[in-house]
Structure 1
Amino acid sequence: MIPPELLLEKGASSVHANIGEILFHEDSLATFYYQLLNGRVRLSNFLSDGREVLHNVICAHEGFGEGAILDSGVHAVTAITDSPCTILKISSTRFIAMMDEYAFLHRLVAQKIARELHFKLFMIKLIYNRAPEEILSNLIHRLNDNKRLVCQECNRLMLTRQQLANMTGLRVETIIRTMKQMEKDDKLNIIRGKVFIPADGID
């Protein structure tokens, strides 16, 4: 989102994180802005019974943590690496100073927050539908349209069945059963456990 060379010029550091590392916890102070050079990070809440509520998966060249810096200064989610990652991080005070110095950053950050809000409202409406196939079909269609979490070279869905369950509130068993039915209806393909969507998308 923000040019990496600008972040480095303003004092960002590059760090490596292994899979499964927690970058920050829900309700912790927002002391850094983060931007992925490679890898994936998921943003989630965890319920008292241990269940995970998946809000977003951050991919390479995307940033996260700015919302908490600009709001109350406290993170609303927990950030966990989903794969080995290389991350640029810059302190919240330097991030704010950059925003004050470069007007174009305000537009970039505002557009990102608006996209995330739009997606969150889309998910709330989708989940209230409570029809598993329609939930999955619309979610995959939306991700593909946005060129997020769907490989643009091979059309593989880059989310596990567990992550789909955590994102939609459906049971994993429901996800599996629904996907098998969608495969029978030629709405997707399952090859060696990987899910692929048709080249022309899901109707």
Structure 2
Amino acid sequence: MKTAPACANPSDIALEDVHPCATCGARPLGVCADLKGHELQSMACNSENIHAEAGQALFHEGDANPFVFNVVEGAVKLYRLLPDGRRQITGFLFQGDFLGLGGRATASFTAEALTPLQACRFRRGDFDQLLNAMPALEHRLVALAGDELMAAQEQIVLLGRKTAKERLASFLLRLAERQQQLGGAPDQVHLPMTRLDIADYLGLTIETVSRVMTQLKTSGLIRLLPGNDVALSDAAALRALADGEG
């Protein structure tokens, strides 16, 4: 994992050093969204830019993890391993997502890059001081925590009550909404994860994921495109299916 050190003191940052933070593509959806001027300087001075290759872990389940992260570019999968070796993927993170809200002692899951990844990394102690000094940062983090809780509740419903078709339809629509927030097309999603990853996230087998993908394609709800892209040919019907009305 490659890292780039940050400055030691906010006063050491020149305007050109702040500019990358001010124009960062992750900022509109990230923890830094409401920060300006000297606040961005303080964030930059208390963080370091890290780069990881696809398949490289930011940290492993059970490891001491003194850091929190903000995803700048790329995608991450979060997973836990059961004692018998089975894997449960608990989430996928994308540009602007924040990682490390829980698990202060040891990491309760593994965070692994799905694609080449760029992130801002903060030491927990430094980040706690930033929270104390910046009410806007604290308020933003509370809002993100609320969004994370809501997503966890939706995932419980998905795993506990929805059929395989409903789960996959919900997953594709959720990805489409996220990618649209990042400026992507509303009717097309990119899947940086494998079908096995999708299966482990939705509580299905890889065979079921492949079969349902084919069924959605045959029904005209989606089109499978080159480069792991999926076109949502009939988003309204897909939404009705996800809601149990299809």
Q: TM-score range by the shorter chain?
A: 0.7 to 0.9
Residue by residue over 1:108-165, the C-alpha shift from the partner in whole angstroms, topping out at 9 and shown as x without a partner, is 1111111111111111111122521112112322333344799823612424322210
**8 A Cα contact 1:23 1:81, kept in partner:** yes
Q: SS of the residue aligned with 1:98?
A: helix
Count of residues in Structure 1 that have an aligned counterpart in Structure 2: 199
Q: Could you tell me which residue of structure 1 aligns to residue 188 of structure 2? A: 155
Give the RMSD, CA atoms, in angstroms: 2.4
State percent identity of aligned pairs.
21
CA contact (8 A) 2:176 2:189 kept: no
Name which of 51, 63, 69 aligns with 2:86: 51
Alpha carbons 2:220, 2:234 under 8 Å: kept: no
| SS state at 1:42 partner | strand
Tell me whether 1:170 sits opposite 2:199 in the alignment.
no
Q: Does 1:65 align with 2:100?
A: yes
SS state at 2:79 partner: strand
Q: Which moved more, 1:146-155 or 1:78-87?
A: 146-155
TM-score with structure 1 setting the length? 0.86
Q: Which runs of 4+ in 1 moved over 6 A?
A: 148-151
Residues 1:165 and 1:149: Cα distance change in structure 2 (over 3 Å): farther
| Change beyond 3 A, Cα 1:149–1:101 | closer
- Distance in 1, Cα, partners of 2:231 & 2:197: 16
CA change 1:169–1:160 in 2 (3 A) is same
What is the deviation of 1:30? 3.0
Residue 178 of structure 1 and its aligned partner are, at CA, apart by: 0.9
Give the match for residue 124 of structure 2.
92
- Alignment partner of 1:127 is 2:159: yes
The separation in 1 between residues aligned to 2:65 and 2:180, in whole angstroms, is 26
What does the per-residue CA deviation read over 1:8-47, in whole Å, with 9 as the maximum and x for residues that have no partner? Answer: 12x2111221121111122323301111221211111122
Query: Greater relative contact order (Cα 8 A, min sep 6): structure 1 or 2?
Result: 1
Normalised by the size of structure 2, how large is the TM-score?
Answer: 0.72
The 1:199–1:157 alpha-carbon spacing in structure 2 relative to 1, beyond 3 Å, is: farther
Which residue number in structure 2 is paired with residue 184 of structure 1? 218
Residues 60 and 141 from structure 1, CA distance in 2 versus in 1: closer, same or farther, beyond 3 angstroms?
Answer: closer
Contiguous gaps of at least 5 residues in structure 2: 1-29, 33-39, 240-246
Q: 1:198 to 1:107 in 2, by over 3 A?
A: farther
CA distance in 1, matches of 2:172, 2:150: 16
In the alignment, structure 1 segments of 5+ residues that lack a partner are: none
Deviation at 1:96, TM superposition (A): 0.5
The equivalent of 2:144 in structure 1 is: 112
- Indicate the larger mover: 162-171 or 14-23: 14-23
Post-superposition offset of 1:61: 2.6
Larger mean Cα displacement after TM superposition, 186-195 or 93-102: 186-195
Structure 1 SS opposite 2:199: helix
The residue that corresponds to 1:80 in the other structure is 112
> Structure 1 residues 6 and 40, CA, compared in 2 at 3 Å: closer, same or farther?
farther
Q: Which residue of 2 aligns with 1:32?
A: 67
